[in-house]
Structures are given as C-alpha cells and as structure tokens.
Amino acid sequence: MSESRPVTEHRAERILAYMFVGIVGVSILAFLAVMFGTLAGAGENDGFSSGAWPFVIMLPWFGLPLAFLLLIALLIVNGVRRRRESAPGSS
C-alpha cells in the first residue's frame, strides 16, 4: 500500500499568490509608463486623454487596492489551512 502524504502545495494559495504578484507588477509597470510618458512629453496638450493612456493611468488606482484585497485573502486562506493542519486528529 502506498503511504498517503499531506499535500504541500495548495492550488488556491498558489493562484492567489500569482494573481497578487501579477497585478502588482502590471500596476508598477503602468505607473512607470506614466512617468516615462510624462518625461517624453506625452502629457502636453491633453495627450493623456487619448489612446491607451486613460487605461494606463487608471490601472494602478484599481490594481493596487485589488492586490491588497488578494493579499488579505491569501493570508486568510493560509491561516485556515494551517489551523486545519494543526487541529488534533487531522493526521
């Protein structure tokens, strides 16, 4: 008979972690794009109001709070898993 081992990798935690890192990374890239666009003169004569700039400007405004909520969800999922693993009779 094969010995059953506890699963060390949990799909929900991994998905939440990758989503958190991805959203924070894209938000930081968008922030840097706005900074470099301003440096290059894209903001002159209302240049940020056309094309993809409105989306790029607003992405960190929504992405970073969403990433914070994902981090809280990740901490909750991790805490619940640890509590279940440490409960008596869980072996």
Question: Which positions of the chain have pLDDT values less than 70?
Answer: 1-9, 90-91
The amino acid that residue 86 corresponds to is S
What pLDDT score was predicted for residue 5? 57
Q: How far apart are CA 91 and CA 73, in angstroms?
A: 26
Query: HSE of 89 in the Cβ direction (CA atoms, 13 Å)?
Result: 0
Q: How far apart are CA 89 and CA 91, in angstroms?
A: 6
Residue 28 neighbours by CB under 8 Å, 6+ apart: 60
Span between the terminal Cα atoms of the chain, in Å? 17
Does the model's pTM come out above 0.85? Answer: no
